[in-house]
Amino acid sequence: MPYRAPVAEFEFLLSHVVGYDRVTATEAHAEATPDMVHALLTEAGRICEEVLAPLNRAGDMTPARLENGVVRTSPGYADGYRAMAEAGMTAVSADPEYGGLGLPQTVTTCVNDMAGAACLALQMNPLMTQGQIEALENHATDGIKALYLPKLISGEWCGTMNLTEPQAGSDVGALSTKAEPAGDGTYRITGQKIYISWGDNDFTGNVVHLVLARLPDAPKGTKGISLFLVPKLIPEADGTPGVANSLKVVSLEHKLGLHGSPTCVMQYDGATGWLIGEENRGMAAMFTMMNNARLGVAVHGVSIADAATQAAVAYATDRTQGKPLVEGGTGTILDHADVRRMLMEMKAETFAARAMALDLAVSIDLGHAGDAAQAARAAVLTPIAKAYGTETGIKLANIGIQVHGGMGFIEETGVAQYLRDVRVSAIYEGTNGIQAMDLVGRKMMDGGAAIHALIDAVEAEAEAHEMGAPVAAMAGALRAATEDMLGRDLNDRFGGAVPYLMGFARVMGALYHLRAATAGDTAGDRMRTALARFYIARLLPEAHGLFAQARAGAADLYDLSADELAA
């Protein structure tokens, strides 16, 4: 089925659910008016529908390949990338000084949502570049900015991030890639990196890598890591790509999904690099890029949730099977209560996950404008949005297959691709377990102040709504679970971290649905009220069980020995 860009849904969320008007009230984004955003989203939506969506299946069926050391991308990807770049979709929020549009991160989030739903494998390319642009804007020297940012922002070049090594996955501090000073202000980078999304392509003039490496005599662990910019082709002073650097793609990973996105093993053999930020402070610079990517990956989950939902509704609307048990039925499987349950869940969860991603983006924008409370709120929401968004994408892709029945298991329908493509999103940019550990660990180091502030706001708002009593009550249960977490040692918290995070997400999702149901948008009132009632009655109660699991701690997780687990 053809993809439909949900521009009207974004505009409703911005106007009635996430408070985008607070962003346009800031000096930095006063010009990002609803009219401007409407024009941009409409054009981006057209490109997603007409150019990107037709490429999704081609990328899956004809994967990127490595041919004589050159990455050959899937058919049509070069044209799709060019269309995005020419429309400014690859650098919506980048600094206008270097050619960017300078729009809020909230607008970038809407654009990325549509592009990911249309063709997730290709959208991953500009996502990596967006993160690199932000890292360079915040940590690079003026010379590096002047040389690299215009090319990255225009889409002439693209960017990657290189963290993982064969022996150093989530434990980044165990990396062994070396950086030796060359004596001329540059460094020689030597080592191997794996899982590098879009490590190379055949349609941009250069590929710019941000690489974590260790200087001689650097401290052990993450405190001894530095960040380096390492281009595929070393630019001349005028920005023209020059000689090839000492790096190469060793191989492409054979993956479950995202076949159109080349995931590379990269080898650096004394490659020329430039330090970004301070020596041994590379993680601070890299986290700028990673936090950008965590919002982007949350949106990947939303993108696939939306695409899978659109496909499921379209199939159910046409599929005739069985006898209707409801008066005035359609004669299709839409008449069946269980199919309705699945479709309602898909629509309700997609809305909640999308609202959370945009809510986070608004808090990021306000934090960048100097609002410390919103910056703290964004820090709390980041792991929740990443984990909930990606788990929602996986769940709804799976439900979408179920709605299709046996046809969902047949590759020709295309819906199995959604599940294969989105599955990795729960793993990269910090597994969802790590996101949950961050929430109950680092994000509680303030004694739970930022989390309690968020719960206070949810509780107060829910109490003011006619439908809000169950939401307010569950916010109280979240507060109790939070207090319980704060009273436990770290490993006990970790044992219940994932259910705690998912219960937190349930409460936030209910709040977004409450806002939508009472927004006064008369054309959609009935639909939004029905979805809110469904979410509050059927999905919100799951939080009771999740909070009970969160309180269980970690002791019982160690009841079986290693030998007993292997028996």
Report in angstroms the alpha-carbon separations of 249 from 146, 193, 200, 246. 27, 10, 7, 11
Q: What HEC string does 176-194 produce? A: CCEEEECCCCCEEEEEEEE
Confirm whether 43 is a catalytic residue. Answer: no
What are the structure tokens assigned to 192, written together?
């191997």
Q: Token match 């700028």: residue?
A: 288
Report in angstroms the alpha-carbon separations of 232 from 74, 235, 257, 402. 21, 9, 26, 44
Cα–Cα nearest to 169, from 511, 430, 485, 349: 430
What is the spatial distance between Cα 426 and Cα 443, in angstroms, rounded to a whole number?
20
| Cβ-count burial 317-356 (b if 16+ within 10 Å, e if not) | eebeeeeeeeeeeeebbbbbeebeebbbbbbbbbbbbbbb
| Cβ-count burial 124-152 (b if 16+ within 10 Å, e if not) | bbbbbbbbbbbbbbebbeeeebebbbbbb
Name the active-site residue from 429, 466, 483, 564.
429
Entry field: residues in the chain: 567
Q: What HEC string does 52-67 produce? A: HCCHHHHHHHCCCEEE
Report in angstroms the alpha-carbon separations of 433 from 384, 390, 491. 11, 12, 13
Q: Token match 């054009």: residue?
A: 43
Q: Which residues pair with 181 in a beta bridge?
A: 187
By CB atoms closer than 10 A (0-12, 13-18, 19+), residue 44 is buried
What is the dihedral sign for C-alpha 361, 367, 373, 377? Answer: positive
Task: Tell me the catalytic residues.
Answer: 429
